Every structure is written in C-alpha cells, then in structure tokens.
Amino acid sequence: MTEIVQESIDLKPETITKKDITFAWLRWYYANEIPHSFDRYLAASLMWGLMPILKKLYKSKSELAAAYQRHLLFFNTQITWGGGTISGIMASLESVRADEVYQNKPISIDDDVLYNTKAGLMGALAGIGDAIDSGTIQYIFIAIALPWAQEGLAIGALFPFFAFVIYQLFVGYYFAQLGFKLGRNAATEVVGNKMQMLIEGLSILGLFMMGILAASYIKVSSSLKFTLSGKEFVIQDTLDKILPGVLPLVVVMGLYFYFSKKGLKVTRALVGLTIILGVLAAIGIL
C-alpha cells in the first residue's frame, strides 16, 4: 500500500515556475532555426524548448512520449511575438492537461485543442512580430549606428546586432511569461488595444527614422543652372532655400509608389532607378 501511495506521489506533476518558463523561452530562442526542416519547420525547436517543462509535468514515459509527439507537428512563427507567447501558452495548457491526467479527470485540453491553438496563433502573431521586429526595430538600431559606422567605428557594425538580440531576449521573455500567466487569453492581450497603441507608436517612430535616413544618407542634387539678365541661377541653391532635401524625398517616394503598385521587385526598381538617374545626369538635370 505504501508503494502504491509513493508511486502516486511520484507521478504528480511538479509546479511550473517563472524560472521554468524563462528557461523554455531561452531554449526556444537558441534552437529557433537549428533543426529547421521542410515538413515540420520549427516544431523541433519548440518541442526542445518545452522539454524540461514536459518532464516536470509528465512522470509517465508514455504520457511524456505523447507530449513530445504532439509538439512535433508542423509549426512556424516569428521568434519573439509568436514563439515567446506560444511557448508560454503551451506550458500553461500542458500544466492543466497534466493535472487532469494525474487526477483521472476528462481531458479538456486534448491534442486538437493544443495544436489548433498553435495553428491559430502562429500566423497572426508572426505577422505582427515581423512587422515590428524586422520591419521597424531593426532599422531603428541601424539608423542609430550609421553615424558611428561612417566614422569608421566598430560599434557602428556591432551595435545593431547586439541591441537587436538584447531587445528580442527581453521582449520574448515578457511574452513567454504573459502567455503562461494568461493561457489562451494571452493572444487577446498581445493584439489588444494597449498593444495596438504600442505597435502604432513604433510604426510611426520607424517612419520618422526612415525619413531621417532618406534626408541624411540619400544624396541627389541637381546640376542644372542658367543665366538670366547676366545673373546665374543654380537650381540646387534655390531648392535648398525653399525645399531642402526635396530631391531625395522625390526618389524615396517614387520607389514607395512603385513598390505599392508593382510589388517588392527590388532588383527591377534598382535597375530602373539607375537608368533614370543616369539619363537625367547625362542631359544635365542631375
């Protein structure tokens, strides 16, 4: 009888702590692209991240093996907003399921619930994460470091990389803890009003930074000049007085409208822009 009681105690799921969630997030972050495969994409990375948690929850080898298998189905998302949030949510749902298994209750968090939750969130959160991290934050760090790079300082090359890594670690940590705390409701929090305000603010900041980059590092000037009543008029001098930086702005906006209409055909845009600028320079306008 004592042995049966002791076995029952041993099978009881352990409590998942913030430290466990942090460790799971760091493992997912480290392994994100290492086992990338065609049929499962990043599923192995998520499973490896969750392994220490699953081992604390499932003491039965059969239950642990089943947990590994259900997290090896196709999975693909952005590393912080998607991966951080979903890893926390999966830890939360697996905790509920493990308690139900241990207490012999009907399983409310079945395999379909777990996978459908991941499948429903991974695309939506990836879209937000890519737009903010890769489309905004990354270029803000690059813009900050450009003056250092122009001066030949090594920090100009290193700062964007290290700053982006530190940013991702902290953001992913926050979303992993939020996902575990709120479970499936975490997704509502991530795309809620407060987060939308933050996203919009970052997007506006990113646009400002792109404008600064365009004005500071895109050099387009006119060489056109003419003489009127014995006085020489230089078009670029006049533009600098009334509309400074207007020519770089015209180039940037022209590319923007081209990409809006034709899609992100970068090579074609670069070739076309080179030809146009070359022709204008040949006839003396630029």
pLDDT of the residue at 7: 44
Block residue for tokens 């991966």 = 83
Helix (H) or strand (E) holding 225: strand 225-228
pLDDT at position 52, please? 94
Rounded CA gap, 275 and 273, in Å? 5
Residue 168 and residue 49: Cα distance in Å, rounded? 16
**What pLDDT is stored for residue 2 in this prediction?**
40
Residues in the chain: 286
Cβ 191 vs Cβ 128: under 8 Å: yes
pLDDT for the residue numbered 20: 93
Report the distance separating Cα 167 and Cα 165, nearest Å: 5
Give the integer Cα–Cα distance in Å for 268 and 271. Answer: 5
Residue type, 219: K
Positions of the chain with pLDDT lower than 70, given as ranges: 1-10, 184-218, 222, 224, 226-240, 243, 264
> What sign results for the dihedral spanned by CA atoms 120, 126, 131, 132?
positive
**Which residues lie below 8 Å from residue 48, measured CB to CB, with a gap of 6+?**
27, 28, 31, 35
Domains of the chain, residue spans: 7-212, 220-282
